[in-house]
């Protein structure tokens, strides 16, 4: 009975990868980014990794085995590791049996903030010590990596005061989270920053070693311990309503900056200032085409995976603060964006972010032009055309 069950799950997994637009010849990195989301897909990924004879396959398989509770997935991992070993890839020996948690009491505590518009997030790790707390705090960015890390001795009272100050001055709130996940986020951010040669304030390895002795654990997004991805996908209403979380205070800084929007704003301005007189409907049609392209490009390409992760982090924050429906909508947007081949197109949350940002900066540009026109005695040809259009009877 096991073999048919494996084959059935494997087919389902391959179908899931196909729906995620993962090609049959996808590399290890692409496969690694999708582990932990779906047991069927994990089985297919484990099977595929057995064909990639490289050390990265071994690393990914071992992480998949450690993070999965599915017996078929774990068995498939062992099968693929054996196949790789037969092809000459070195497989590290299985570790000696030891307790799952090597950090001795007192246990650590983890806390996370929401992700701001730049991709920054605050992460805290706390460990009780005689007379106080060891407080490791880090600022991470997705996708740039670890920005800052430090370790301080504090007390519960001082920490509560610091939290109240963050809420009062910056409207920045932290929620409880699995400390292992917090540790995973900081470690991943450290690796990203190192790979991209970004400066880091603080000695990550030395500071972490004062609190934690075991190696960091790769973990899937924490929201998927609270919500089932398939259940969210099955509710079409959630994607339609995915722009509703933008009403929450935590999204107040989520907008695109002028530098990022400049190519699109400049193109709109050239259409506006063109000596070629366009009917308003033609002009609007061209504007709409630019906006659609911006939605696709700004949420696609190299940054697409980063936007997916940010939305997943926001979903966990909403869930932890008992805004379950907003969490489900944010997950729906993340899942749709992850599967998209056209960036943020047809994802209301993404479309609204781009349209709102463009409208704000276009309005600012228009106000600047009007101020300039009022202070000038001479009309430019473009201004004259627009003034004539404004006075023309409709």
Q: Is 121 helix (H, G, I), strand (E, B) or coil?
A: strand
Q: Is 133 helix (H, G, I), strand (E, B) or coil?
A: strand
Contact 119, 310 (CB under 8 A): yes
Contact 169, 177 (CB under 8 A): no
Instruction: Flag whether pLDDT at 257 surpasses 80.
Output: yes
Domain residue spans of the chain: 2-86, 109-219, 237-391
Contact 49, 82 (CB under 8 A): no
Residues whose CB is less than 8 angstroms from the CB of residue 106 and which lie 6 or more positions away in sequence, other chains included: 127, 128
- What is the number of other CB atoms lying within 10 angstroms of the CB of residue 388? 10
Instruction: Flag whether pLDDT at 386 surpasses 60.
Output: no
Q: What pLDDT score does 223 carry? A: 96
- Separation of alpha carbons 84 and 28, rounded Å: 14
Listed ranges 24-33, 76-85, 333-342, 355-364; the one with the highest mean pLDDT? 333-342
Cis peptide before 95 (omega within 30 of 0): no
Residues whose CB is less than 8 angstroms from the CB of residue 314 and which lie 6 or more positions away in sequence, other chains included: 114, 115, 245, 250, 251, 330
Q: What pLDDT score does 101 carry? A: 41
- Separation of alpha carbons 337 and 350, rounded Å: 9
Q: How many degrees, rounded to 5, is the angle at CA 218 between CA 213 and CA 223?
A: 120
The residue-averaged pLDDT of 111-119 equals: 96
Structure tokens at 189: 């951010």
Crossing angle for the helix pair 348-374 and 324-339, to the nearest 10 degrees: 90
User: Is pTM beyond 0.85 here?
Assistant: no
* Segment 125-146, tens digit of pLDDT: 999 988 899 999 999 999 999 9
Crossing angle for the helix pair 39-49 and 2-19, to the nearest 10 degrees: 90
- Separation of alpha carbons 378 and 373, rounded Å: 8
- What is the number of other CB atoms lying within 10 angstroms of the CB of residue 214? 12
Q: What pLDDT score does 105 carry? A: 42
Q: Tell me which residue has tokens 């398989």.
A: 61
Q: Give the percent of the chain with pLDDT over 70.
A: 87
């Amino acid at each position: 009975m096991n073999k048919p069950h494996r084959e059935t799950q494997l087919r389902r997994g391959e179908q899931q990868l196909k729906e995620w637009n993962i090609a049959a010849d996808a590399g290890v990195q692409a496969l690694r980014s999708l582990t932990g989301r779906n047991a069927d897909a994990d089985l297919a990924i484990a099977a595929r990794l057995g064909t990639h004879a490289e050390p990265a396959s071994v690393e990914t398989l071992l992480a998949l085995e450690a993070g999965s509770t599915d017996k078929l997935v774990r068995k498939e991992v062992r099968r693929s590791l054996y196949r790789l070993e037969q092809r000459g890839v070195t497989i590290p020996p299985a570790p000696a049996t030891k307790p799952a948690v090597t950090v001795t009491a007192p246990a650590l505590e983890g806390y996370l903030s929401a992700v701001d518009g730049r991709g920054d997030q605050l992460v805290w790790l706390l460990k009780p010590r005689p007379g106080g707390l060891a407080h490791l705090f880090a600022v991470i960015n997705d996708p740039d990596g670890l920005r800052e890390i430090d370790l301080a001795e504090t007390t519960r009272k001082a920490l509560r005061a610091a939290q109240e100050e963050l809420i009062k001055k910056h409207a920045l709130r932290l929620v409880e989270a699995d400390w292992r996940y917090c540790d995973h986020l900081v470690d991943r951010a450290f690796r990203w920053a190192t790979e991209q040669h970004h400066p880091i304030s603080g000695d990550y390895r030395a500071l972490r070693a004062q609190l934690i002795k075991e190696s960091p654990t790769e973990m899937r997004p924490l929201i998927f311990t609270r919500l089932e991805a398939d259940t969210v996908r099955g509710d079409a209403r959630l994607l339609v309503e995915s722009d509703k979380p933008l009403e929450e205070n935590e999204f107040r800084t989520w907008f695109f900056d002028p530098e990022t929007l400049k190519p699109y704003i400049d193109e709109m301005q050239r259409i506006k200032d063109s000596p070629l007189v366009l009917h308003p409907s033609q002009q609007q049609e061209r504007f709409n085409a630019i906006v659609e392209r911006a939605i696709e490009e700004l949420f696609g390409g190299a940054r697409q995976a980063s936007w997916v992760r940010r939305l997943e982090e926001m979903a966990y924050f909403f869930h932890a603060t008992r805004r379950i429906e907003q969490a489900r909508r944010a997950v729906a947007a993340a899942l749709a964006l992850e599967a998209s081949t056209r960036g943020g197109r047809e994802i209301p949350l993404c479309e609204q972010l781009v349209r709102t940002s463009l409208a704000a900066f276009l309005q600012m540009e228009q106000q600047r032009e009007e101020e300039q026109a009022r202070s000038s005695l001479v009309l430019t040809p473009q201004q004259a055309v627009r003034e004539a259009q404004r006075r023309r009877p409709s």
